[in-house]
Chain A
Amino acid sequence: MKKSTIIEAPVKVETAIEGFDYLTLGGLTKGRNTLVVGTSGSGKTLLGVQYIYKAITEFNQSGIFITFEERPEDIMRNVFKLNWDLNQLVSENQLRFIDGSPEPHQQEEIGSYDLSGLFVQIEHFIKEIDAKVLVIDSIGSLFTQFKNQGVIRSEIFRIINFLRDLGITSIMTAERLDEYGPITRFGIEEFVSDNVIVLRNVLDDEKCRRTIQILKMRGNKHLQGEFPFTISDEGISIFPLASIELKQESSLDKVGTGNEELDKMTHGGIFRDSILLVSGPTGGGKTLMGTMFAAESCGRGEKVLILAYEESREQLLRNAQSWGLEFKQWEKEGLLKIICKYPESMGLEDHLLSIRNAIQEFEPKRLIMDSVSAMERVASVKNFREFVIGLTSFVKQERICSLLTSTTPQLSGGESVTEAHISTITDVIVLLRYVELHGFLRRGIAVIKMRGSQHEKQVREFEIDHTGLNIGKPFKNVENIILGTASSTSIPEKDSLGDMFSK
């Protein structure tokens, strides 16, 4: 009887690895093998372990992990710190290891052989635990353990066909020597080339940067390009930053900024789902604006999260107290949470992940980040841009009204890297600037952008005193206050002095 072939379109299965399913537009190809390549230390083994762990714990699919490199005990120990108890999964008959790690001494080879012993083990475990997923880590080690490369090649091919016939979804890892060189050392991608994923760990501007790229997924769509990922205590998390959809509805509900005059300048405050950027030189009142914004939120009983990268907790608390704000009390009441971190303490991907975790845990209504520009110094421009986009799209998705501060490079202003990347993403931009007029250093404030609403276009003078940030009258007869060098228009000085802040 002739066997009929049913041709089916490839189906995807979710992996529950953060970001992975989005990147692959649905997960791995069901019943097929995916080759994961990367240099040593690029996260291949972890991706494999995470895939199998999630398949078991999230989707109740038993799995087999074949290791040709590390011993099963070492793998279990390595991920135990992520609270992944593989040993328990083994005892619950949901996971099996096949130990193909190298023997202490090279075994002798006399005559010909194949990998039927491995097949016996795979078949036995598939039956025993009804396995649906399988990981092989890594193929390269097989080539070093056995001398007959031709046999290994054809046996890998046989394994992949065997798994496909059984409908088992699998990941196979392989090493490569260069981040941007040949796909694998042994050219195996040529015959297992349906799906290829590349993990990279590259030095970018002296910072390590991990990325993942879906090279191909035959018969399936996926996102193109390299996407950053991080390895944290939750395993691998991928951020498909540039493509997070802004699908939230916009809100017409406005919230106060914590400053009555600024509320007037913005015609009633800022939209609840918007991002406010406060740009100013050092000592220009940015942190104070953030503090007032936090106070406004707490005063309404809305939770607020402060991420401070320039000042310590003690400094923040002391300053708040000097403005008469009881931050400590609000903290006790669970309205306020302050997280202080050195930008240098970790990479930007890890910062982003920890911010997201803090937001998910604390569920604030508002967020203050002081300052975003502090992050510039720990990353390359590209990396920083991804961070800013990732952060802003996340807070927008979560509908958290956010105030971000940015320090300008010069006292008189000037555009910082932060602003170049962030200004198109933010909804409201407030500039704080020093203005030199007639030999006096004064402070000016202006709202230069407000999406979806009218706002005052005038530049106002403000002062900082013990009561906070007091916004006064608009400057008059002065030009280029904010966007250049201030100069008074041709009005006699006697008049201009009296007239400058006329009512």
Chain B
Amino acid sequence: MKKNKYILFITGDTELSQTAKDSVRKISNSYEKGLVDIEVIDLIEHPQFAIEYGIIATPILIVMKPHTIEKIVGSLTDIEKVKRLLK
């Protein structure tokens, strides 16, 4: 698995944000340490990212691969499904 950049965008301290943060923590921990580091950014504090990435729905996980950007919308509760997509 190549090293990609992962950002989870959330909007404020909401239940959805909390669930999504818990999900990405579990996902990160299920990999070898340092392989999948997921940064968490709150768009309410940094709205420019919402504009830059054209974010409509949140939470959203953005996977920056060398040539493409993949987006997964939602609180990512089905961790196995997320992991299948990250492959």
Contacts and interface: CB of A to CB of B under 8 A. Distances in A.
Interface of A: 98-100, 103, 107-121, 123-124, 146
Contacts of B58: 113-117, 120
B16 A112 contact: yes
Tier of interface size on chain B: 20 to 34
Interface of B: 9, 11-12, 14, 16, 19-20, 23, 43-44, 47-48, 50-51, 54-60, 71-78, 81-82, 85
Q: Is the interface of A mostly helix, strand, loop or mixed?
A: mixed
**A-B complex: 4 closest residue pairs judged by Cβ atoms:** A111-B75, A116-B11, A117-B55, A111-B74
7 contacts: A100-B54, A110-B73, A110-B76, A111-B19, A114-B57, A116-B11, A116-B14
Contact of B74 (A113, A115, A120): A113
Contact of B59 (A100, A107, A113, A146): A113
Contact of A108 (B44, B73, B75): B73
A118 to B, nearest CB: 5
Contacts of B55: 117-118, 120-121
Given A110-B77, A117-B50, A120-B43, 12 more contacts: A110-B72, A110-B73, A110-B76, A112-B16, A114-B57, A114-B58, A116-B43, A117-B11, A117-B55, A118-B56, A119-B11, A146-B57
B77 to A, nearest CB: 4
Candidate in A107, A108, A124 with the most chain B CB atoms within 10 angstroms: A108
Contacts of A109: 72-74
Contact of A113 (B43, B47, B57): B57
B69 to A, nearest CB: 9
A117 B60 contact: yes
A116 B55 CA distance: 9
B83 to A, nearest CB: 10
Contacts of A113: 16, 57-60, 73-75
B11 A110 contact: no
A101 to B, nearest CB: 8
B56 A100 contact: yes
A410 to B, nearest CB: 66
Given A121-B51, A124-B47, A114 B71 contact: no
A123 B75 contact: no
B9 A117 contact: yes
Contact of A107 (B16, B20, B72): B72
Contact of B12 (A103, A116, A118, A121): A116
B75 A112 contact: yes
Nearest to A99: B54
A120 B48 CA distance: 9
A117 B75 contact: no
Contacts of B51: 98, 121, 124
Nearest to A152: B57
Contact of A114 (B16, B19, B54): B16
Nearest to A125: B51
A115 B81 CA distance: 22
A99 B56 CA distance: 9
